[in-house]
Structure 1
Amino acid sequence: MILLRSTLFNLWFYSVTTGFTLGSLVLRLAGPLAPAGWPEGLVRRWGATVLAGLRPLCGIRYEVSGWENLPAGPSLVVSMHQSAFDTLVWLLLLRNPAYVLKRELTRIPVFGPMCGLVGMIAVDRGAGPAAIRALLRGGDRAVAQGRTIVIFPEGTRVPPRVRATLHPGVAALASRTRLPVVPVATDSGLHWGRRAFRKFPGTIHIVIRKPLPADLPRGELMARLGAEFAEGSAALGMPLPAGHVDKSVGTASGGLPG
């Protein structure tokens, strides 16, 4: 049954994505005749439509706790990253968020140009210092637009109960933008794993934890984020191994979804 339900959801995912891709092409061709702000609205509706299939097709629902910890204004949402779900759900939870993502995604036909149209922050994770400069420029633009930034400092999707390196680009971004740093814990990988065809029924938890000040010294901020992830993961029944960092996961960049 899980295999059948997962097959149906994957068909749903690709059908919805194809439909919205065609819609974006029509709207781009329409030029000035297209509604104002259509890229942001289209991306949000795409995410909402994909996730709308999770409960009826896979038996997966999601719960968000800690809303009171999310500042009313722009912030820097620093989330654990276990699943493609994580990159979809913030399109619904926030108004027009700016994601930090790897530049390779912008080379995908149609999807790539859409990332540019909605102002996502694309970074070449192999570019070294140039990647940090691009990250900071993107952060400046997002702050000027009054947007919340979403970053995944593990740099890739990490299985539950695995402690990965947190990459320091997040500290540079916090220092530059001066936005409150909001750690987020999740157990999404228990139900929708990395590159996993099968989706397992249950409830995905998204836990918004208390914000950290952006002016913490870099080392202290990174340590506090690691502690927040560990505590949040343990509270969700997925304790991380103490003192062990799995260096086989993650990237050399500042926190790009992968």
Structure 2
Amino acid sequence: MIWLRSILFNLAFYVITASAALLAQPLLLAPRGWLLPPMRWWASTILWLLRHLCGIRVRVTGLEHLPPGGALLAAKHQSAFDTVIWLRLLPDTAYVLKRELLWIPFYGWLARKVGMIAVDRAAGATAMRSLLKAGRAAAAAGRQIVIFPEGTRVAPGARVAYQPGVAALAAATGLPVLPVATDSGLCWGRRTFLKRPGTITVAILPPLPQGLRREALLTALETAVEGETDRLLAGRLVDNSVDNALAALRSQ
């Protein structure tokens, strides 16, 4: 059953995404803000498909921590799901993403038009200057910047070093830094076809103290995100153990 649900979801995902990107091309000639409602519609549609085709629900906690206006969300990255959810939750999202994504026909053109922040990972200091310039512009416009400080998708339970770009962005923009934990990889794994039923939790944590130096900020960020992520994963293990025990009792 999971295989069938996953086939239907993946087929619908790619068809809807490609169709939406193609139909939105005329908006490249319109003001940037005109693209925001179609983006939110696309994200809402993908979340609807996850729920009704895959049995995956979404629980978001800590929305009260989001300030009005600009913010810098430093989010755990386990799954492609993490690149969808913020288009639904935030009014004007600016993802920090790798430059190669802008080369994708149709999608890349829209991402550039809407003001996503593209980074050339091989450009060194030039990439950092470009990141900070785009970050300042997004902050000045009151947008919410989403950055994945690990720099890549990381499987649940695994850890990689946090990259310093988030600290540089925080210093350059003056935006509050909100750590974000998730267990999305348990339902929508990285580079996996199957989508497993369950509830994905996205936990928005209180903002870090402002004015922290780079090393202190990275340490505080990693402690907050990884600690909450571990708690979410442990909770899922407990829930699964209870479910398995109840299923065993029912079968007796």
Q: By the TM > 0.5 criterion, same fold?
A: yes
SS in 2 for 1:98: strand
Residues 102-139 of structure 1: CA deviation (Å, up to 9, x unaligned):
00000000111101111110110111111111110111
Q: Distance in 2 between matches of 1:89 and 1:223?
A: 26
2:43 alignment partner in structure 1: 47
1:250 aligned residue: none
Q: Which moved more, 1:201-210 or 1:41-50?
A: 41-50
Within 5 Å, which residues of 2 pair with 1:143-222? Answer: 143-222=139-218
| 1:7 maps onto 2:33 in alignment | no
Q: 1:22 to 1:230 in 2, by over 3 A?
A: closer
| Residues 1:25 and 2:25 are matched in the alignment | yes
Any idea what the Cα deviations from partners look like across 1:148-206, whole Å, max 9, x if unmatched? 11000000110001111100011000000011100000000000011110000000000
SS at match of 1:77: strand
SS state at 1:236 partner: helix
Q: Deviations over 1:212-238 (max 9, x none)?
A: 133101110000011002211122134
Q: Note the 1:31-110 alignment, pairs <5 A.
A: 31=29, 37-110=33-106
TM-score normalised per structure 2? 0.89
How many pairs are equivalent? 235
Q: 1:127 is matched with which residue?
A: 123
Larger radius of gyration: 2
Describe the shift of the 1:225–1:25 C-alpha distance in structure 2 as closer, same or farther (beyond 3 A).
same
Q: Structure 1 or 2: larger helix share?
A: 2
Q: Which amino acid aligns with 1:174?
A: A
Q: What is the aligned partner in structure 1 of residue 241 from structure 2? A: none
Q: What is the SS of the residue equivalent to 2:118?
A: strand
Q: Which runs of 4+ in 1 moved over 2 A?
A: 25-28, 34-38
Is the CA contact 1:132–1:169 (under 8 Å) kept in the aligned structure 2?
yes
Secondary structure in structure 1 of the residue aligned to 2:84: helix
Distance in 2 of aligned mates of 1:35 and 1:212? 34
CA displacement at 1:38 relative to structure 2: 2.2
CA distance in 2, matches of 1:225, 1:25: 38
Unaligned runs of 5+ in 1: 240-258
Give the CA RMSD over aligned residues: 1.5
Structure 2 distance, partners of 1:67, 1:144, is 22
**Structure 1 Cα separation of the partners of residues 18 and 227 of structure 2:** 39
Instruction: Report if the CA contact (8 A) 2:21-2:110 is conserved.
Output: no
Structure 2 spans left out of the alignment, 5+ residues:
236-252
Distance 1:27 1:127 in 2: 31
Distance 1:35 1:221, change over 3 A: closer
Question: What is the CA-CA distance between 1:42 and the residue it aligns to?
Answer: 1.8
Cα distance between partner residues in 1 of 2:211 and 2:31: 40
Q: How far, CA to CA, are the matches of 1:230 and 1:173 in structure 2?
A: 20
Note the C-alpha offset of 1:73. Answer: 2.6
Q: Relative to structure 1, is the Cα distance of residues 65 and 36 closer, same or farther in structure 2, using a 3 angstrom cutoff? A: closer
> CA 1:126–1:69 in 2, change beyond 3 Å: closer, same or farther?
same
Whether the aligned pair in 2 keeps the contact of 1:182 and 1:210 (CA below 8 Å) is yes
Describe the SS at the equivalent of 2:40: helix
Amino acid at match of 2:34: W
